Structures are given as structure tokens and as C-alpha cells.
Amino acid sequence: AQKVTQAQTEISVVEKEDVTLDCVYETRDTTYYLFWYKQPPSGELVFLIRRNSFDEQNEISGRYSWNFQKSTSSFNFTITASQVVDSAVYFCALSEPPGAGNNRKLIWGLGTSLAVNP
Amino acid sequence: DTAVSQTPKYLVTQMGNDKSIKCEQNLGHDTMYWYKQDSKKFLKIMFSYNNKELIINETVPNRFSPKSPDKAHLNLHINSLELGDSAVYFCASSQGSSTATDTQYFGPGTRLTVL
């Protein structure tokens, strides 16, 4: 069965610390995509990154970086030198294998709530 | 230029009432979704439409009825509201529905409170 596990429910750090949010997935697909979304206190859901299963290169975008390791079925997200504005709930999601009509859904983790304190 | 917009942002109503939430996307996407996010932040897909056709219909009470007048709009009508319907409802859109590449973009959410 397809599943996304974000084992860390809540993380609290002090500004400027580095923090890694874990995401472990299970899938029977050989081709799949992984996503990270951010939900700040204002409530909207913001797309951060999409990574396909064939591309295991790490991705860096400013202070954000993502480590995709197929061998451990993990797609971890690191924030370097965290800032108060990084405080949010972060969701990891996995594309589900196509169902009826070849339609796919996303399987969502339960989210990790990150609090960055000044 | 809001990509996915929802109205209203907040909705407070009494049990038993009927209410609607509207969603519009200007991204030119073919697929739109409704999600429900409960108080524990769990995201659950409710419905999805592709080019006005219902393609995903999860186990949702039939008091919830989506309507897509065109591919840029997806509305959600809820009859006989119950306390348990209180949640944040998100609309989302994606280019298509059948490939794993389709990133979903979300609206700002509608916080529904049923009293």
C-alpha cells in the first residue's frame, strides 16, 4: 500500500539553526513523484518542490535543500539557517499509482509543524 | 493575479443550513480538486474534476455536491450542514490528472464553522 510517513509531528528550533524534516514513503510504483508543500500560519498551501523517482540528485533552492534517497525511500527536507518566517506546517506527498480512468491522487503525510523561535 | 481563488474565505453558519463555496483558477488547468483539512491538519481529497467531468469521488456524504460549470470553476455545495463539517476546505488545480508530474496548486482555503 502507498503511504507517506512524517514521523516528526512537531519540531522547535532557534533561529539560525539548521533543521531537517523527514519524509519516508512506500509505493509499488516504479515511476512516481514526491512533493513538499508549506502551510504557514496564514493557512494557504504553498508548493515547494516536485521530484521524480528517476532523479536522485539533491536539489537546493536558497536555504532549502532536498535529499532524495531511493534506497531508503526517503525524501528529506533541510532548512539551513532557519528564520522565523519558516515557521509552518510542512507536508510531504506522494503520487498514487493510477486508478480507474488513469487518474492519480496524492497521498499526503500528516505534516510536521516547525516552530522557529527568535 | 491570484492563480486559484476561493470565496468566501470564512463562512460561519448554523447547523442545518445549506452553503456553497466557489473556486476559480486562471492557470488554464484541466483538473480541479476539493480537499477537506480537519483540525489536526489532515488533508483528505473529496472530489476531482477533469474538464468538467467528475473523476474522483471519495467517500463523502451525499450532502456534498460539487459542480463544475466550466474547467476554470469548481463549486462545492453543502446541504444540511453538520457540526462535523467544520473544517478548512481547499480548492486546487493541476494541468492534468493522469500523470505523476501534475503539481497541484492550492487556493487560500475557506474556513467553515458550523455552530
Give residue-wise pLDDT tens across range A21-77.
999 999 988 888 899 999 999 999 999 999 988 888 888 999 999 999 999 999 999
With an 8 Å Cβ cutoff, is B102 touching chain A?
Answer: yes
Taking the CA of residue B64 and the nearest CA in chain A, the distance in Å comes to: 19
Residues of B in contact with A105 (CB under 8 A): 45, 48, 56
C-alpha separations of B37 from A13, A78, A102, B28 in Å: 26, 25, 25, 25
Residues of A in contact with B41 (CB under 8 A): 39, 89, 110-111, 113
CB spacing of B100 vs A108 below 8 angstroms:
no
> Taking the CA atoms of chain A, what radius of gyration do you get in angstroms?
14
Q: Would the pLDDT of A100 be above 60?
A: no
Over the stretch B64-114, which tens digit does the pLDDT of each residue have? 999 999 999 999 999 999 999 999 999 999 987 665 558 899 999 999 999
Which residues share a beta bridge with A68?
A75
Show Cβ contacts of residue B12 under 8 Å, excluding neighbours closer than 6 positions. Answer: B113, B115
The H or E element containing residue B91 is strand B87-94
- The three-state secondary structure class of B55 is strand
The H or E element containing residue A68 is strand A64-69
- A27 φ/ψ angles, rounded to the nearest 5 degrees: -155, 155
